[in-house]
Amino acid sequence: MKNPVCSVAIVGGGPAGLSAAIRAAETGLSHVLLEAESHLSNTIHRFQKGKYVMSEPVKLPLRSSLAFEAGSRESILDAWTSEAVRLEVNVRRNSPVKSIAGEDTGNFSVELADGTTVSAANVILALGLQGQPNKLGVKGEDLGFVDYHLDDPDDFNNKVVVVIGAGDSAIETALALAEQNRVIIVNRRDGFHRAAAGNRNAMLEAIADDRLECFYNSVPRFIEEQDGRARLVLEASGETSEILCDRIIARLGARHPRAFLESCGITFSGDETTALPMLNSQYQSTVQGLYVIGSLAGYPLIKQALNQGYEVIEQIRGKPVSPVEEELLLDKFTGVPGFATVDEILTKVGGMGPIFGSIDALPLRAILLESRILSPAPGTAIFCHGDYSDSFYSILCGEILIQLRENEPELIVRLNASEFFGDTELISGRRRTLTAIAGENCILIETPRLAIKKLSASNQTVAETLEIAAVERSLRWHLIPGLTENDFKTLEDRVTCHNYETGEILFQEQAYGDSIFFLRSGAVTVTQTMDGREVPYRLVTAGDYVGGWGALAVSVRRATACAQAVTSTVEIPGEDFRWLVQQYPELLRNVHSNILTHHVGKTEAAQQNGEVISFLMEQGLGEATDVLLIDESICIRCDNCEKACANTHSGTSRLNREAGPTFASVHVPTSCRHCVQPHCMNDCPPNAIHRASSGEVFIQDTCIGCGNCVQNCPYGVIHLTSDKDENKPSLWARLLFGFDEAAVGGTGSGCHKKAVKCDMCKDLSGGPACVSACPTGAAFRGNPKDILVELKEEASCTDQY
């Protein structure tokens, strides 16, 4: 039997799908809403109980028939569910969609997991990003004891929980539960190789400390009920054993929805994991009649999802509305002559050269929405040498003057309309190495770093354009300012670009090699062997080069260079470099002084020092811009640093003094390293994490508390917490009885949780409170490069004895 054809089938009942279904119901459009779970909005359903759901971005107007205001998870879910009942939305719960067949409007056939099909003229895909979790595939996999996710570890207390899996999510689940429960992790393999290094180490440490048990080489066979508990039978290294437990949580990964979309015939913008489905400005995919909206389309916030649901139904009803975002876009361009309509904006910006020219209308609109339009007066500095800004600028019209050297203001390069600048620091994440000054009639588009990074990750043309520019600018702007066009042309085909992973070797001591490496991003340590031990003595960061000795001496390498973070280089072959040095004597002087400054004696002190440097590198200092260290030989463990942090940050300390490793009395407490390329920024839905112009990475108030950054930071320094009551004990109580305990991370109760981390006290004029509150001078913060220089100086002082 064939079902009657409805106008639209909506897959997924989250905010995006539900908003579409409600609009369809309200306007009498025949529809069906297919939801995999027994309740609507599974993603929100799984938020922590009582979570305060925020309605970012505040500036974006809501255009949906579904009301939405910031409020508790429960109030929002209740309101939405009753609205769906009131408007008689045709919902089919427990109906996961398996496949969709059909190529054009009017004849889609949607197949459900139970084998039934639904026919629809249009299909809206609003599946969200969570994907369907992989099941255990054994008898009992669907028993009530078995879960495929963990919502709130606090729901479990004093229970026996088995976690199955060995990836990051399994580890995080197990560690979170182990705080208050007996946890057994069941791992199919003999290690945790698939997990990120931080998680893997934390896991192995926990197992070594007996905080949880691990069954290696173990495969679950079946699960059954026994006296109200679950009995899991597994095969462990060939032998059968069993575990009696209260709950089994399997974290075996999820089938990413991308595969599903592709099986429907939808094309993606690239192969990278960050690539998005290709959509037109009405969210229609490359298959006519198939629409993709919500987080699946790359819009990570609820309000965006709601708006899109509404707009797509209007489109299908033949009453298209222009997306609300377009009003915001027009606002941005008010006052810019010749940019009065959205079409004008998109065609003109789209015609502006390789970066914006290569993107489709929808991502272009999204990127412009995140950007700012600037019309600086002539002579204004857009950024200066040494600033910590990291935006990317495109010149809409007018001229920009780039000063290549801080102390030589005459050394200038002129850029014109359609060209871009600020790309160097986009890649390096370091301070500005140039000064940019506005010329006459200049109008600029300032795009945030993350938007451009995402774009170049998903768009080959953009990536290539940036790469080509980077090579030319590395040579002509940074390494050899004044390099002529002709000389560059000769060199252009000779140089090569490389990317190195952390720990990869650029060149090895005693091996022959004479090229030099200019670092575009990352950091490299230079080590020498002394008495059979590798002793690092120098940290080279983006904008500098390594290999000068080998290139000039044409002999074997005197040292080993090893990447300490993901590093990209421009490699110039030795003979070309020697030719360059002849043409540009200043370069030769530079290389010579570099070699002399970094010459080290082979001394005992240098060796000890090298060990400390190696230790610090293992702690991620290679990618840090500023790090807190504690000298344990003078630290009196008074925790005044934590108290100071808590007192200056609404009651919660962002640093944990005691945690973290120690080597030779150098202690690295758990505290933000203000990474060169902050991992925490990568996946923040409201883009709430920024870098201040003085370098601090901080979280804005627009945080929605989703916890992505907590997961993404490899150093475990972000916590979700709500502000504490300012119920401080009196001064006398604190003075006489020491009643001022600091709370470290995550202790605030309440549901309005937000992510908090160290902001280096950027709003206090005297610098970080932790450092200034240390009574013995044991705590210090600094740039790793300076710290290494200081260590070296201390070592050379000791050498004199």
Partner 1 sequence: MYGSILSYGQYRYLKQAAALVLIALLLYLSSSPGEAPNGGTWQGYTLGGISAALILFLLWFGIRKRQYHCTETTLFRWVSAHVYLGISLPVVVTLHCGFQFGWNVHTLAYGLMVFVVLSGFYGLYAYLVYPEALTANRCGISRREMITTIARLDDTCLALAENLGAEAHHKVLREVVETRLGGTLWQQIIMGASLPVLPLFQWKFAGNFVASEQAGLNVKDQSAEYFLRRYLQESQNKVEIQRVVELLKVLNERQFMVSRVQRDIRYHAFMKCWLLLHVPISCALLAAVMVHVISVFFYW
Ligand X SMILES: Cc1cc2nc3c(=O)[nH]c(=O)nc-3n(C[C@H](O)[C@H](O)[C@H](O)COP(=O)(O)OP(=O)(O)OC[C@H]3O[C@@H](n4cnc5c(N)ncnc54)[C@H](O)[C@@H]3O)c2cc1C
Q: Is 300 in the site for ligand X (CB under 6 A)?
A: yes
Taking CB under 8 A as the binding criterion, the range among 104-112, 271-279, 588-596, 733-741 that sits at the site for partner 1 is 733-741
Q: Which does 638 bind (CB under 5 to 8 A by kind): ligand HEM, ligand SF4, ligand X, none?
A: ligand HEM
Say which amino acid occupies 31.
H
**Count of residues that bind ligand X according to CB under 6 A:** 38
Specify the stretch interacting with partner 1 by CB under 8 A; choose among 348-356, 360-368, 542-550, 730-738: 730-738
91 vs 516, beta carbon nearer ligand X = 91
Quote the Cα angle for 499-253-78, to 5°. Answer: 120
Contact between 566 and 524 under an 8 Å Cβ cutoff? The reply is no
Q: Does 643 bind partner 1 (CB under 8 A)?
A: yes
Which one, of 461, 487, 454, lies nearest residue 472 by Cα?
Answer: 487
Would you state the structure tokens that stand for residue 301, as one six-digit string?
């916030």
The CA-atom distances, in angstroms, between 323 and each of 98, 151, 377, 686 are: 30, 34, 33, 19
Q: For residues 648-667, which are near partner 1 according to CB under 8 A?
A: 648, 658-659, 661-663, 665
655 binds, among ligand X, ligand HEM, ligand SF4, none (CB under 5 to 8 A by kind): none
180 near partner 1, rule: CB under 8 A: no
Binding characters for ligand HEM, 621-640, by CB under 6 A (x = yes)? -----------------x--
Residue 301 engages ligand X in binding (rule: CB under 6 A)? yes
Structure tokens at 34: 């297919």
Binding mask 38-77 for ligand X (x = CB under 6 A): ---xxxx--x-----xx-x---------------------
Distance CA(387)–CA(384), nearest Å, equals: 6
C-alpha closest to that of 268 among 255, 279, 257: 279
Locate the DSSP E strands across 77-130: 91-92, 97-101, 108-112, 117-125
Near partner 1 by CB under 8 A: residue from 88, 228, 766, 801: 766
Number of residues that bind ligand HEM (CB under 6 A): 3
At closest approach, how far in Å is the CB of 551 from ligand HEM? 53
Least distance to partner 1 from the beta carbon of 747, Å? 18
Q: In what order do the strands lie in the sheet with 247-250?
A: 146-147, 247-250, 160-164, 182-186, 213-215
Q: Select from 783, 789, 717 the least CA-distant residue to 431.
A: 783
x/- map, 651-690, ligand X, by CB under 6 A: ----------------------------------x-----
Name which position in 14, 220, 550, 660 contacts ligand X (CB under 6 A).
14
Window of 5-13, 455-463, 586-594, 709-717 that interacts with ligand X by CB under 6 A: 5-13
C-alpha distances in angstroms, 374 versus 393, 395, 397, 442? 10, 10, 11, 8
From the list ligand SF4, ligand X, partner 1, none, pick the one residue 550 interacts with, judged by a Cβ distance below 5 to 8 Å according to partner type: none
* Cβ atoms < 10 Å from Cβ of 134: 14
Could you tell me the smallest distance in angstroms from the CB atom of residue 706 to ligand X? 3
Please identify which residue in 67, 468, 511, 636 interacts with partner 1, judged by CB under 8 A.
636
CB of 754 to ligand X, least distance (A): 10
Q: Exactly one of 240, 730, 749, 765 binds partner 1 (CB under 8 A); which one?
A: 765
Residue 775, interface with ligand HEM (CB under 6 A)?
yes
34: Cβ–Cβ under 8 A, 6 or more apart, which residues? 9, 10, 11, 12, 13, 92, 95, 96, 97, 110, 112, 118
Please count the helices (runs of H) and the strands (runs of E) in the chain. 24, 45
Q: Rounded to whole angstroms, how far apart are CA atoms 170 and 250?
A: 7
Which residues, in sequence order, are bridge partners of residue 697? 691
- Max distance between CA atoms of the chain, in angstroms, equals 95
The amino acid that residue 232 corresponds to is: L
Cβ proximity to ligand HEM, 184 vs 630, nearer residue: 630
- 775 is in the binding site of which of ligand SF4, partner 1, ligand X, none (Cβ under 5 to 8 A by kind)? partner 1
Q: Using CB distances below 5 to 8 A depending on partner kind, what does residue 735 bind out of ligand SF4, ligand HEM, ligand X, none?
A: ligand HEM
Report the residue from 25, 31, 124, 128 that binds ligand X according to the rule CB under 6 A: 128
Task: Give the Cα separation of 596 and 588 in Å (integer).
Answer: 12
Does 209 participate in binding partner 1 (rule CB under 8 A)?
Answer: yes
**Residue 346 or 624 with smaller CB distance to partner 1:** 624
Nearer to partner 1, 486 or 730 (CB): 730
**Smallest distance, Å, CB 429 to ligand SF4?**
10
DSSP classification of residue 429: -
Name the residues that contact ligand SF4, by CB under 6 A: 672-675, 678-680, 684-686, 688-689, 697, 699, 703-709, 713, 715, 717-718, 755, 757
Q: For residue 221, state whether it binds partner 1 (rule: CB under 8 A).
A: no
Min. distance of Cβ 681 from ligand SF4 in angstroms? 7
Count residues binding partner 1 (CB under 8 A): 45
- What, of ligand X, partner 1, ligand SF4, none, does residue 47 touch, CB below 5 to 8 Å by kind? ligand X
Which neighbouring-strand residues pair with 133? 254
CA angle 552, 556, 561 (to 5 degrees): 85
- The contacts of residue 154 (CB under 8 Å, 6+ apart) are 180
Contact call for residue 118 and ligand X (CB under 6 A):
no
Span of 75-83, 403-411, 415-423, 774-782 interacting with partner 1 by CB under 8 A = 774-782
Q: Are 433 and 478 in contact (CB under 8 A)?
A: yes
- By CB under 8 A, tell whether 797 contacts partner 1: no
**Cβ proximity of 699 and 296 under 8 Å:** no
Residue 301's binding partner out of ligand HEM, ligand X, partner 1, none, with CB under 5 to 8 Å set by partner kind: ligand X
170 Cβ contact partners less than 8 Å away, ≥ 6 residues apart:
163, 164, 185, 251, 252
**Residue 488 tokens, joined:** 């560059």
**729 touches partner 1 (CB under 8 A):** no
Q: Which helix or strand (DSSP H or E) is residue 617 part of?
A: helix 604-618
Q: Which amino acid is at 317?
A: R
Task: Tell whether omega for the bond before 57 is within 30 degrees of 0, i.e. cis.
Answer: yes
One residue of 353, 574, 707, 782 binding ligand X per CB under 6 A = 707
Shortest spacing between CB 637 and ligand HEM, in angstroms: 11
From residue 289, give the alpha-carbon distance in Å to each of 3, 106, 528.
19, 8, 63
Q: Which does 33 bind (CB under 5 to 8 A by kind): ligand SF4, partner 1, ligand HEM, none?
A: none
- From candidates 101, 143, 511, 735, binder to ligand HEM by CB under 6 A: 735
Contact of residue 685 among partner 1, ligand HEM, ligand X, none (CB under 5-8 Å per partner type): ligand X
Question: Is 507 in contact with 547 (CB distance < 8 Å)?
Answer: yes
Cα dihedral 283, 57, 42, 719, rounded to 10, equals 140
The span from the CA of 780 to the CA of 629, in Å, is 6
Binding residues for ligand HEM (CB under 6 A): 638, 735, 775
Binding residues for ligand X (CB under 6 A): 11-17, 34-37, 41-44, 47, 53-54, 56, 96-97, 126-128, 130, 132, 294-296, 300-303, 305, 685, 704, 706-707
Binding residues for partner 1 (CB under 8 A): 209-211, 631-638, 640, 643-644, 647-648, 658-659, 661-663, 665, 731, 734-736, 738, 740, 761, 764-769, 771-778, 780, 790
